[in-house]
């Protein structure tokens, strides 16, 4: 994900910017760049690739200057390339900016600016900001006013670092929805998107709030609220060391990413839920195309396959279109029936999984239309798909996928609703409810995460358990499959997921006193049946843990322990049930002393078949 570093002071800015950016490398990025005011002019160097590529380029250039901004980019709009890298400058090179976040209304702003004669050099949403700033600066003749005028026009999220040739001592910062901090030094100050970038220089920081703009000189920091009133802030003292700061204070990336989920969902939904339609501009499948499709496959691997199973149910229920799901490694060798009326939906966090990519190529060769649901921008699957839905979960580092999965499921729900709207299968009223529920989803997840201490405590009760069975019905069964995979991956405990009614057809023979049965109980129409299935397990001496919605009294009859989640409707409640399962898997692994971020035998991206 993108990173920002900025400096103003007496030292050479270049090495401080490079050092700051390199401390943000763990977040992942595809290009890097810097702008420095050097001999009265802004000098910008930006390169696709690692920071070392950038360093190589600037090594022999004499870029001496005491004020500058730097950026590592993780592509969202436009492929990774030199021209799309930040900083972006206005046409005469007198203003330079770096940006994290997404400008939602950039297409409209870009069209307006083009009509005013502005020329765009990149495919990014960011470039509109620098041209807009140029426009207002020429009008307002004052950089502070121009920044505020610009921000008033922007919809979306941003953390911005700005330098202007006419203000050679002033670094400008602005924030809304994307983190940005100001590091306070002696005769020098910094900006950064995250603490590690400045920890080598200072532990004193100001945390910018949404809507605030800061004008920063080497010995003066002025912060303004959105109404241009000066605000006084308390300095925050950082107490973390470098390693924990990179994980945002969490002990492991897996836990950090579990806690990232409210933001990942917000980002996935950002700008997509409109009043009476869903804005997925890289999907060009309309009613006519949908009516012409004779077969829909959903194909993926591992966790992404589990998200695909949820997608099947969403599309079948909302659109009435039958869907076949398959794991990618099987799909290719099952002689799938594919022609030019087939739609193949593939899900992948990395966008590079070899089996999934091979399925894409096979289906494409036979004429199918490919819709990719992908997290990594510019990845192979993203490039080869005809239609694209980015999950926008941000960088996922832990091998065990958590926030990417939740974003994939939410994306499949968006897709199913998009198709249903196109086909006229759901009314505007239905869609209004979908929207309201999705908008509440990040808040519901936050509420569940607040209970993480309880789940940690609970997990300790099961330290001697030898095997874990996850059972559920309907969508809950698919959540069981993901919960079981997560536990296996990180704790190495033996675990299986079964449709609850299937247990007595064989697997029940395995149940003993050292077995734990986790019953996911959100599907109302099969609740009583699930409770009976749990009774059957209890009768064999197994421990019973259930995840269910508040006010479910019937489950109390059978469960030894219950984790409650909010009720958010038939399709969204199961997504919530997955969050405690992720935490449970994590804490079980910790209890057993496992290396959760790097589980044995597993790789983050499986690029071999
Ligand atoms: O990058 P992908 O989403 O294509 O990866 C697919 C699987 O390899 C992945 O989901 C794997 O199962 C994870 N380790 C699950 O946590």
Gap between the Cα atoms of 209 and 513, Å rounded: 53
Q: Do 19 and 158 reside in the same domain of the chain?
A: yes
304 close to ligand 1 (CB < 6 Angstrom)? yes
Residue at a domain's end among 217, 244, 271: 244
Residue 241 confidence (pLDDT): 65
Residue length of the chain: 609
Is 483 among the domain residues?
A: yes
Q: Domain range for residue 151? A: 3-244
Ligand 1 geometric centre to CA of 254 (Å):
14
Q: List pLDDT tens digits, range 26-78.
A: 666 789 999 999 999 999 999 999 899 999 988 888 899 999 999 999 888 88
606 close to ligand 1 (CB < 6 Angstrom)? yes
Is 111 among the domain residues?
A: yes
181 close to ligand 1 (CB < 6 Angstrom)? no
Q: Do 101 and 63 reside in the same domain of the chain?
A: yes
Q: List pLDDT tens digits, range 451-508.
A: 999 999 999 999 999 999 999 999 999 999 999 999 999 999 999 999 999 998 998 9
Is 604 among the domain residues?
A: no
483 close to ligand 1 (CB < 6 Angstrom)? no
Q: Do 230 and 300 reside in the same domain of the chain?
A: no
Mean pLDDT score of the chain: 93
Where b means 16+ CB within 10 Å and e means fewer, 275-313 reads eeebebeebebeeeebeebebbbbbbbbbbbbbbbbbbb
Is 600 among the domain residues?
A: no
Gap between the Cα atoms of 391 and 399, Å rounded: 17
Asked if 523 is an active-site residue, the reply is no
DSSP-derived secondary structure letter, 112: H
Residue 179 confidence (pLDDT): 78
Is 254 among the domain residues?
A: yes
Q: Do 458 and 584 reside in the same domain of the chain?
A: yes
CA-wise closest residue to 221 among 186, 177, 179:
186
DSSP secondary structure string for all residues of 489-501? HHH--EEEEEEGG
User: Which strands sit side by side in the sheet containing 543-549, from one edge to the other?
Assistant: 494-499, 467-472, 515-521, 543-549, 561-565
Contact 353, 347 (CB under 8 A): no
Residue nearest to atom 8 of ligand 1 (CA): 302
393 close to ligand 1 (CB < 6 Angstrom)? no
CATH number at residue 70: 3.60.20.10
350 close to ligand 1 (CB < 6 Angstrom)? yes
Instruction: Please state the domain count of the chain.
Output: 3
Ligand 1 geometric centre to CA of 349 (Å):
7
Residue at a domain's end among 397, 431, 449: 449
Phi-psi region of 435 (alpha: psi -120 to 50; beta: other; left: phi over 0): alpha
Contact 301, 604 (CB under 8 A): no
Ligand 1 geometric centre to CA of 75 (Å):
21
Q: Do 250 and 331 reside in the same domain of the chain?
A: yes
User: Which strands sit side by side in the sheet containing 213-216, from one edge to the other?
Assistant: 88-89, 95-100, 158-164, 171-176, 213-216, 221-224, 230-231
CATH number at residue 575: 3.40.50.10490
Instruction: Report residue 535 as tokens.
Output: 């009774």
CA atoms within 13 A on the CB side of 557: 14
Cis bond leading into 87, ω under 30°?
A: yes
Contact 497, 484 (CB under 8 A): yes
Atom number in ligand 1 closest to CA 408: 3
Q: Do 67 and 100 reside in the same domain of the chain?
A: yes
Q: Do 461 and 410 reside in the same domain of the chain?
A: no
Q: Which of 253, 303, 345, 406 to mutate to test the pocket of ligand 1 (most atoms within 8 A of CB)?
A: 303
- The residues, ordered by sequence, that sit 6+ positions from 467 with a Cβ below 8 Å of its Cβ are 493, 494, 495, 496, 510, 514, 515, 516
Contact 160, 97 (CB under 8 A): yes
Where b means 16+ CB within 10 Å and e means fewer, 468-482 reads bbbbbbbbbbbbbbb
Residues of the chain with pLDDT under 50: none
Residue nearest to atom 7 of ligand 1 (CA): 302
Rg for the chain, CA atoms, rounded: 26
Q: List pLDDT tens digits, range 337-388.
A: 999 999 999 999 988 888 999 999 999 999 999 999 999 877 789 889 999 9
Is 597 among the domain residues?
A: no
Q: List pLDDT tens digits, range 203-213.
A: 999 989 889 99
Q: Do 216 and 276 reside in the same domain of the chain?
A: no
Task: Give the max Cα distance, the chain.
Answer: 81
Residue 394 confidence (pLDDT): 83
DSSP-derived secondary structure letter, 546: E
Partners of residue 161 on adjacent β-strands: 98, 173
Asked if 480 is an active-site residue, the reply is no
Is 571 among the domain residues?
A: yes
Residue at a domain's end among 449, 479, 513: 449
Ligand 1 geometric centre to CA of 458 (Å):
27
Helix or strand (DSSP H, E) at 68: strand 67-73
Gap between the Cα atoms of 24 and 37, Å rounded: 23
Partners of residue 82 on adjacent β-strands: none
Residue nearest to atom 11 of ligand 1 (CA): 302
Instruction: Report residue 196 as tokens.
Output: 């590690």
CA-wise closest residue to 214 among 172, 168, 151:
172
Q: Do 54 and 151 reside in the same domain of the chain?
A: yes
Torsion of CA 233, 239, 241, 242, to 10 degrees: -10
Residue 43 three-state SS:
strand
Ligand 1 geometric centre to CA of 53 (Å):
30
Q: Do 251 and 201 reside in the same domain of the chain?
A: no
- Alpha carbon separation from 26 to 1, 20, 42, 182, 426 (Å, rounded): 9, 12, 28, 20, 43
Ligand 1 geometric centre to CA of 210 (Å):
35
CA-wise closest residue to 559 among 535, 539, 584, 580:
535
Instruction: Report residue 264 as tokens.
Output: 């990942």
Residue 263 confidence (pLDDT): 92
Q: Do 424 and 558 reside in the same domain of the chain?
A: no
Is 142 among the domain residues?
A: yes
90 close to ligand 1 (CB < 6 Angstrom)? no
Atom number in ligand 1 closest to CA 350: 1
Gap between the Cα atoms of 272 and 274, Å rounded: 6
Ligand 1 geometric centre to CA of 311 (Å):
16
Question: What are the E-state strand segments in 141-294?
Answer: 158-164, 171-176, 181-184, 188-192, 204-207, 213-216, 221-224, 230-231, 236-237
Q: Do 252 and 371 reside in the same domain of the chain?
A: yes
Which residue out of 226, 233, 598, 604 is catalytically annotated?
604
Kindly report the backbone phi and psi dihedral angles of residue 349, in degrees, each rounded to the nearest multiple of 5, phi listed first: -65, -55
- The residues, ordered by sequence, that sit 6+ positions from 207 with a Cβ below 8 Å of its Cβ are 181, 233, 236
């Amino acid at each position: 994900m993108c990173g920002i570093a900025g400096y103003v002071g007496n030292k050479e800015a270049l090495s401080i910017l490079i050092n700051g950016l390199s401390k943000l490398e763990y977040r992942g990025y595809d290009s890097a760049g810097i702008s420095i005011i050097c001999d009265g002019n802004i000098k910008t160097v930006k390169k696709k690739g690692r920071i070392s590529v950038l360093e190589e380029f600037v090594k022999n250039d004499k870029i001496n200057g005491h004020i500058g901004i730097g950026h590592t980019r993780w592509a969202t709009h436009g492929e990774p390339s030199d021209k799309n890298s930040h900083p972006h400058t206005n046409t005469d090179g007198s203003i330079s900016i770096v940006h994290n976040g997404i400008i939602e209304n950039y297409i409209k702003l870009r069209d307006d600016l083009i009509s005013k004669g502005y020329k765009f050099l990149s495919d990014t949403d960011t470039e509109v900001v620098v041209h807009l700033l140029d426009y207002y600066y020429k009008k307002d003749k004052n950089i502070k006013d121009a920044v505020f005028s610009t921000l008033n026009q922007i919809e979306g999220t941003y953390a911005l670092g700005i330098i202007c040739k006419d203000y050679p001592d002033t670094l400008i910062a602005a924030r809304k929805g994307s983190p940005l901090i100001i590091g306070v030094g002696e005769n020098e100050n910094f900006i950064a998107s995250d603490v590690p970038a400045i920890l080598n220089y200072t532990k004193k920081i100001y945390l910018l709030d949404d809507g605030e703009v800061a004008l920063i000189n080497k010995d003066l920091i002025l912060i303004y609220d959105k109404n241009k009133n000066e605000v006084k802030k308390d300095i925050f003292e950082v107490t973390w060391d470098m390693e924990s700061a990179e994980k945002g204070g969490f002990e492991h990336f897996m836990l950090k990413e579990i806690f990232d989920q409210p933001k990942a969902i917000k980002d996935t939904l950002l700008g997509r839920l409109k009043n009476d339609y869903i804005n997925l501009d890289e999907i060009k499948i309309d009613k006519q195309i949908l009516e012409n499709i004779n077969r829909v496959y959903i194909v993926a691997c591992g966790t992404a396959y589990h998200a695909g199973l949820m997608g099947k149910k969403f599309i079948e229920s909302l659109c009435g279109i039958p869907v076949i799901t398959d794991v990618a490694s099987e799909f290719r060798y099952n002689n799938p029936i594919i022609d030019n009326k087939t739609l193949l939906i593939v899900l992948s966090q990395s966008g590079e999984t070899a089996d999934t990519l091979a399925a894409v190529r096979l289906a494409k060769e036979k004429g199918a239309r490919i819709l990719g649901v992908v997290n990594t921008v510019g990845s192979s699957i993203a490039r080869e798909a005809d239609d694209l839905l980015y999950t926008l979960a941000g960088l996922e580092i832990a091998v065990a996928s958590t926030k990417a999965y939740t974003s994939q499921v939410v994306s499949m729900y968006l897709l199913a609703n998009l198709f249903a709207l196109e086909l006229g299968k759901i009314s505007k009223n239905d869609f209004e409810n979908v929207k309201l529920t999705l908008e509440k989803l990040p808040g519901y997840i936050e509420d569940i995460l607040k209970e993480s201490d309880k789940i940690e405590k609970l997990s300790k009760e099961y330290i001697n358990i030898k095997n874990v069975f996850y059972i559920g019905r309907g969508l809950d069964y698919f959540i069981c499959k993901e919960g079981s995979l997560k536990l296996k991956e990180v704790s190495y405990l033996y675990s299986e997921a079964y449709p609850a009614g299937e247990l007595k057809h064989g697997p029940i023979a395995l149940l003993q006193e050292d077995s734990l049965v986790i019953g996911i109980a959100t599907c109302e129409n099969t609740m009583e049946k699930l409770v009976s299935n749990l009774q059957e397990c209890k009768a064999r001496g197994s421990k019973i843990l259930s995840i269910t919605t508040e006010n479910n009294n019937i489950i109390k009859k059978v469960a030894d322990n219950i984790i409650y989640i909010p009720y958010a409707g038939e399709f969204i409640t199961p997504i919530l049930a997955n969050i405690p399962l992720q935490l449970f898997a994590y804490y079980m692994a910790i209890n057993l002393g496992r290396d959760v971020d790097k589980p044995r035998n597993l790789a983050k991206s499986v690029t071999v078949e």
